[in-house]
Amino acid sequence: MQRDVIIACDFSSKEQVLSFLDRFTETKPFVKIGMELFYAEGPEIVREIKARGHRIFLDLKLHDIPNTVKKAMSVLRNLDVDMCNVHAAGTIEMMRAAREGLTREDGTRPLLIAVTQLTSTSEERMQRELLIGASINDTIVKYALNTKEAGLDGVVCSPLEAAMVKEACGTDFMTVTPGVRFADGEVGDQVRIATPARAREIGSDYIVVGRSITQAADPVAAYERCLEEFLG
Ligand code: C5P
């Protein structure tokens, strides 16, 4: 399976993201576009970054009734992104509908993954507010199995959960993991973190790295360090 570093481009305007990407003169990193940038700039920003030669993970985390998700995905498929996602909590039926909507007439489609439990959700809150009685790890494994059953390619999870997901769903089932920090870097608001090298050992296929690269004094050097540590 292909492994790579995805840069989370959490910027609020086209100017900011394009001037950030302008720094990468020799490489064209795989980038993640999230809700903030997409809602600020619309689909045009996806076309523009794609036209510059980057692969794109469009992180919009769809979660609605199956028919609505299917129709939304059939719009997104025209953007020619490389990866997009839904919430596994939307059920197997919703995930199947997402996959159908995303599939082009020739049978090809972007990679489609599901969020299990957001890394910001603690076990205590999940049990008290959402009335989910199971442990958070059992929930993550069950959601990952549902994702596999729906025919999706993998899940977004913490690097620390990647081994558990692979054990339940098989090594070909993809894990895309945010929550990555350099050993000597700022942790910020992330809790369940790992270094790029540790993420590789545990079994991440793609690591999603935001501030450790975007806020670095030299983002290109930070990206290259990530690649080196992650790809080994
Ligand atoms: O700056 P940092 O490396 O923490 O950025 C991580 C990125 O991954 C952000 O875009 C964040 O929204 C996203 N993410 C996450 N945890 C999840 C899902 C997505 O941190 N469970």
Task: Please name the residues in contact with 104: beta carbons below 8 A apart, sequence gap of 6 or more.
Answer: 77
Give which of 23, 29, 24 is closest to 5, Cα–Cα.
29
Residue 129, pLDDT above cutoff 90 = yes
Q: Count CB atoms within 10 A of the CB of residue 107.
A: 6
Q: Judge if the beta carbon of residue 210 lies within 6 A of ligand 1.
A: yes
Q: Which residue has 């790809």 as its token pair?
A: 231
CA dihedral 173, 112, 120, 71 (to 10 degrees): -150
Residue 116, pLDDT above cutoff 90 = yes
Average pLDDT score over residue span 45-59: 98
Residue 1, pLDDT above cutoff 80 = no
- State the pLDDT at residue 30: 98
Average pLDDT score over residue span 199-228: 97
Q: Ligand 1: which of 7, 9, 10, 161 to mutate, judged by most atoms within 8 Å of the beta carbon?
A: 10
Residue 144, pLDDT above cutoff 90 = yes
Average pLDDT score over residue span 52-65: 98
Residue 192, pLDDT above cutoff 80 = no
Residue 217, pLDDT above cutoff 80 = yes
- State the pLDDT at residue 84: 98
59 - beta bridge partners? 34
Average pLDDT score over residue span 12-29: 97
Nearest CA to ligand 1 atom 14: 178
Catalytic residue among 14, 50, 61, 142: 61
- State the pLDDT at residue 186: 83
Nearest CA to ligand 1 atom 10: 8
Task: Please name the residues in contact with 144: beta carbons below 8 A apart, sequence gap of 6 or more.
Answer: 88, 114, 116, 155, 157, 165, 168, 169, 173
Atom of ligand 1 nearest to the CA of 118: 21
Q: Judge if the beta carbon of residue 169 lies within 6 A of ligand 1.
A: no
Q: Judge if the beta carbon of residue 222 lies within 6 A of ligand 1.
A: no
Q: Of all residues in the chain, what percent carry a pLDDT higher than 90?
A: 91
In order of their start, the domains of the chain are 4-231 (3.20.20.70)
Give which of 14, 57, 3 is closest to 229, Cα–Cα.
3
Q: Judge if the beta carbon of residue 196 lies within 6 A of ligand 1.
A: no
Nearest CA to ligand 1 atom 19: 178
Q: Judge if the beta carbon of residue 211 lies within 6 A of ligand 1.
A: yes
Q: Does the annotation count 14 as an active-site position? A: no
Sign of CA dihedral 227, 21, 155, 124: positive
pLDDT in tens, 79-97: 999 999 999 999 999 999 9
Answering whether pTM is above 0.75, one says: yes
Residue 189, pLDDT above cutoff 80 = no
Q: Measured between alpha carbons, how far is 97 from 95 in angstroms, rounded to an integer?
A: 5
- State the pLDDT at residue 119: 80
Question: What letter represents residue 22's amino acid?
Answer: D
Instruction: Give alpha helix (H) positions in 42-161.
Output: 43-51, 66-76, 92-102, 123-129, 136-149
Q: Judge if the beta carbon of residue 5 lies within 6 A of ligand 1.
A: no
Residue 49, pLDDT above cutoff 80 = yes
Question: Of 42-56, 79-93, 106-120, 180-194, which range is least confident?
Answer: 180-194
CB 227 within 8 A of CB 5: yes
Helix (H/G/I), strand (E/B), else coil: 10: coil
- State the pLDDT at residue 93: 98
Atom of ligand 1 nearest to the CA of 214: 1
Q: Measured between alpha carbons, how far is 175 from 173 in angstroms, rounded to an integer?
A: 7
Question: Of 47-51, 110-114, 157-161, which range is least confident?
Answer: 157-161
| Band (65; pLDDT cuts 50, 70, 90) | very high
The CA-based angle 25-31-37, given to 5 degrees, is 110
178 alpha carbon – ligand 1 mean position (Å): 5
| Integer angstrom CA distances of residue 10 from 20, 58, 101, 202 | 11, 12, 27, 26
179 alpha carbon – ligand 1 mean position (Å): 6
